[in-house]
Chains A and B, each alone.
Chain A
Amino acid sequence: MSSRGTKQKKGNVTNEQEEEDQPLQAVLIADSFNRRFFPISKDQPRALLPLANVAMIDYTLEFLTSTGVQETFVFCCWMSNKIKDHLLNSKWCRPTSPNVVHIITSDLYRSLGDVLRDVDAKTLVRNDFILVYGDVVSNIDVSQALQEHRHRRKVDKNISVMTMVFKESSPGHKSRCEEDDVIVAMDSKSKRVLHYQKTQGLKKLQFPMNIFQHGSDEFEIRHDLLDCHISICSPQVAELFTDNFDYQTRNDFVRGILVNEEILGNQIHLYVTNEGYGARVSNLQMYDSVSSDLVRRWVYPLTPEANFTDQRGQGCAHSRHNVYRGAGVSLGHGSQMEENVLIGRDTSIGANCHISNSIIGNYCTIGDNVVLDRAYIWNNVHISNKVKIHQSVVCDGVLVKEAVLLNKQCVLAYNVVIGPNMSLPEGTVVSMHHPEEEEDDDDDEFLSDDQVVGNSKDKTKQKGLVLNPDPDSDSESEASDGSQDMGSRSVSPEMDDVKVFQLEVLGTLQRGEEENIGCDNLVLEINSLKYAYNITLKEVMQILTKVVLEYPFQQQGTKLSSSQYTVLLLPLLKKWSPVFKNYIKRAQDHLDCLSAVEELFLEQETHQTAMVKVLMNMYQLEILEEDAILKWFSAGATTDKSRQLRKNQGLQKFIQWLKEAEDESSEEGE
Chain B
Amino acid sequence: MPGADKETDLSERIEAFLADLKRGGSGTGPLRGSGEMARETTALLRRITAQARWSSAGDLMEIIRNEGRRMTAAQPSETTVGNMVRRVLKIIREEYARSRGSSEETDQQESLHKLLTSGGLSEENFRQHFASLKANVIEAINELLTELEGTTDNIAMQALEHIHSNEVIMTIGRSRTVEAFLKDAARKRKFHVIVAECAPFCQGHEMATSLSKAGIETTVIADAAIFAVMSRVNKVIIGTQTVLANGGLRAVNGTHTLALAAKHHSTPLIVCAPMFKLSPQFPNEEEIFHKFVSPHEVLPFTEGEILSKVNVHCPVFDYVPPELITLFISNIGGNAPSYIYRLMSELYHPEDHEL
Contacts and interface: CB of A to CB of B under 8 A. Distances in A.
B73 to A, nearest CB: 7
B26 A301 contact: yes
B309 to A, nearest CB: 9
Contacts of B8: 95-96
A280 to B, nearest CB: 16
A562 interface: no
Contact of B11 (A96, A300, A307, A340): A96
B208 to A, nearest CB: 23
A274 interface: yes
Contacts of A300: 26-27, 292-294
Contacts of A601: none
Contacts of B12: 96, 98
Given A170-B302, A277-B294, A296-B311, A98 B23 contact: no
Contact of A174 (B14, B23, B308): B308
Contact of B73 (A94, A315, A319, A322): A315
B50 interface: no
Interface string B307-344: 11001111000000000000000000000000000000
18 contacts: A96-B14, A97-B15, A98-B12, A169-B302, A170-B302, A170-B303, A172-B304, A173-B305, A274-B302, A297-B314, A298-B294, A298-B295, A300-B292, A301-B24, A318-B287, A318-B290, A319-B287, A322-B313
Contacts of B129: none
A97 B302 CA distance: 34
Among B24, B27, B308, the one with the most A-chain Cβ atoms within 10 Å of its Cβ is B308
Contacts of A169: 301-302, 304
A592 B75 CA distance: 70
Given A169-B302, A300-B27, 12 more contacts: A96-B12, A98-B16, A167-B301, A168-B301, A170-B302, A171-B304, A173-B303, A296-B312, A300-B293, A315-B73, A318-B290, A322-B292
A170 B23 contact: no
A58 B303 CA distance: 28
Task: Sort chain A's interface into a size bin.
Answer: 35 or more
Contacts of A95: 8
Interface of B: 8, 11-12, 14-16, 19, 22-27, 73, 286-287, 290, 292-296, 300-305, 307-308, 311-314
Contacts of B303: 170, 173
Contacts of A319: 286-287, 290
Interface in A383-398: none
Interface string A313-349: 0010111011000000000000000011000000000
Given A98-B16, A315-B73, A297 B294 contact: yes
Given A172-B304, A174-B305, A300-B293, A96 B287 contact: no
Contacts of A167: 301
A503 to B, nearest CB: 39
A308 interface: yes
Nearest to B314: A297
A296 B295 contact: yes
B294 A168 contact: no
A297 B15 contact: no
A301 B8 CA distance: 27
Contacts, number: 87
A275 B294 CA distance: 10
B65 to A, nearest CB: 18
Contacts of B73: 307, 315
Contacts of B25: 301
A98 B292 contact: no
A224 interface: yes
B294 A339 contact: no
Contacts of A275: 296
A317 B290 CA distance: 11
B269 to A, nearest CB: 28
A306 interface: yes
B304 A340 contact: no
Contacts of B287: 317-319
Interface string A265-299: 00000000011110000000000010000001111
A174 B295 CA distance: 16
A65 interface: yes
Nearest to A174: B308
Contact of A298 (B16, B22, B296): B296
A415 interface: no
Contacts of A502: none
Interface string A167-194: 1111111100000000000000000000
Contacts of B19: 65-66, 98
Nearest to B26: A301
A566 interface: no
B24 A274 contact: no
A170 B305 CA distance: 8
Contacts of A168: 301-302
A173 to B, nearest CB: 5
A139 interface: yes
Nearest to A301: B23
Nearest to B288: A317
A289 B295 CA distance: 15
B312 to A, nearest CB: 7
A95 B22 CA distance: 19
B325 to A, nearest CB: 26
Among A170, A277, A306, the one with the most B-chain Cβ atoms within 10 Å of its Cβ is A170
A308 B311 contact: no
B293 A173 contact: no
Nearest to A308: B22
A322 B25 CA distance: 19
Given A96-B15, A98-B19, A340 B311 contact: yes
B78 to A, nearest CB: 12
A139 B305 CA distance: 22
B318 to A, nearest CB: 15
